Chain A
Amino acid sequence: MATYTKFWDVIVDQLWSYQDANLVLDSIDYLNLCFGITTDHNTGHAPCLKLDNGATHGGTINWDGGSTKYLRANAAGTVLSIAAIDFKMTGGYKIQGNRAILTYRGAPVNNEPYDTSDSTSIALGYVMPFPGSVLGVSLAFSLVSMTGTSFTEAADLYKNGSLLVAGTATGLISPPGVERVKDTYARGVHTFVAGDRLEVLYNKGGDASAWTGYASAQVEVILDS
């Protein structure tokens, strides 16, 4: 029959020494630090996950049991990228902050019209379903013929009939010929709200008194919601 000696509590306290207790607490703190969990957080949910490898990237979540499919911040913390795996949105949800391109096509152009109305006085345009801002305007103008010695073209962007941003003019175009120009803007600078109308006006420069050409303009927008 087995026998043993029962230690007094004061002896047990010595056996489970403060060094041992600290070791256990340090181990717990290690996990808390890694997950950004406050010491009194005991709900069963991690409120925050702090990621960073401190050298080559700003933190990685590897999917599918490997290291090639990941969600990763770059070292500078400027870009969060997804590699080797698609990103999918399902159900009734969407990305608030994706882009669209509004396509305008003025053809033929022999005056200075708004694009969608083909009128020099009536601005129509596309009605924005969500708020956002303009990121880019590009224009290609194909000049077929002109009377005069110089011709340039610009695509001015109008919001609700008022000039939002004037486009940069193309270089001089000699008929027949095509010139292109593009402008980009930071997000949040040229903004619009839901219901605003965005219209392009073709704006001629140079001394040409009569001309015929074809305009193709694209407006890159980003939708905030």
Chain B
Amino acid sequence: MAFSYTQISDYVLEQLMSNLLINTLVDSYRYIGEDILGIAAGATSGYVAALNMNNGVTHGGKILFCGGDQSAAETEKYLQADAAGTYVELQGMDLVVSSPYVIQGDRVTLCYYLDGVSADAYMSNQDTANSSGYYATRAGSILSIAVYGYNVTFPHPTFQGEVHKNGSSVLASSSLAFTATSQEKKTKTTQARGVDTFAVGDYIDGFINFTASPGLIYAGLTIELILDS
């Protein structure tokens, strides 16, 4: 027997599968894409232009790797912003920057020592007036100075560590005031990135500055730098 059916008129179909229904369906996908997944609107190229992340409560957005399960916190491998939006944390994995690329913004330290100094002196050459220092191969900022001293003599000296750029002090530690021989003291001072900057070709050095009663000390000085390129 021949198969037959009733042909429904187009205007009836239009009513049944209404524009409202279609729009609801499309809106559902937009809801998934834009509101839930955070894809910026208008991304039709096959690439996400921007992914907007924030769970609004416990963190500022999270990407789970390796099939991560949010219920297994101790085994998670993720990239996540904290709730305050102060840092992005990579957890559960090393970060590998393979050759020939570099991290433009990693930190290094310059470490100096003087095994016996009794007058103002640059750490790199123990010269009083002329700085040698680190002849910068990259631009960057000074982030901190840490200084250590061991007092040998009487009267007891007071000194501070300084970071000099091109021969001038740009960042100083607090003073170390000795009150006895064979006494150890240390201090550190930090600075925000971008404040005490240096350019390629600047020279950075540590400096021991006696502010009272210069005398024989042993000194160590560390300068923390962040490299911009």
Given B86, B103, B138, which contacts A85 in the complex, CB threshold below 8 Å? Answer: B86
Interface residues of B, dominant DSSP: loop
Are B92 and A138 closer than 8 Å at their CB atoms?
no
Q: Which residues of A contact B46 (CB under 8 A)?
A: 33-34, 50
- Determine if A69 is an interface residue (Cβ-Cβ < 8 Å): yes
Given A17, A215, A218, which contacts B17 in the complex, CB threshold below 8 Å? Answer: A17
Q: How near does chain A come to B219, taking the closest CB pair, in angstroms?
A: 13
Are A50 and B47 closer than 8 Å at their CB atoms?
yes
Q: Which residues of A contact B16 (CB under 8 A)?
A: 15
- B65 closest partner in A (C-beta): A45
- Determine if A200 is an interface residue (Cβ-Cβ < 8 Å): no
Given A62-B50, A142-B125, check contact A188 B110 (CB 8 Å): no
> Across the A-B interface, how many residue pairs have beta carbons closer than 8 Å?
258
In the bound complex, CA of A79 to CA of B102 (Å): 10
In the bound complex, CA of A199 to CA of B224 (Å): 22
Residues of A within 8 A of B (CB): 8, 10-11, 14-17, 20, 23-24, 27-28, 30-31, 33-35, 43, 45, 49-54, 59-67, 69, 71, 79, 81-82, 85-91, 93-101, 103, 105, 107, 133, 135-136, 138-142, 176, 178, 180-182, 184, 186-188, 214-216, 218, 220, 222, 224
Residues of B within 8 A of A (CB): 3, 5-6, 8, 13, 16-17, 22, 25-26, 29, 32-33, 37-40, 43-54, 56, 60-61, 63, 67, 79, 81, 85-112, 123-127, 130-138, 201, 203, 205, 225, 227
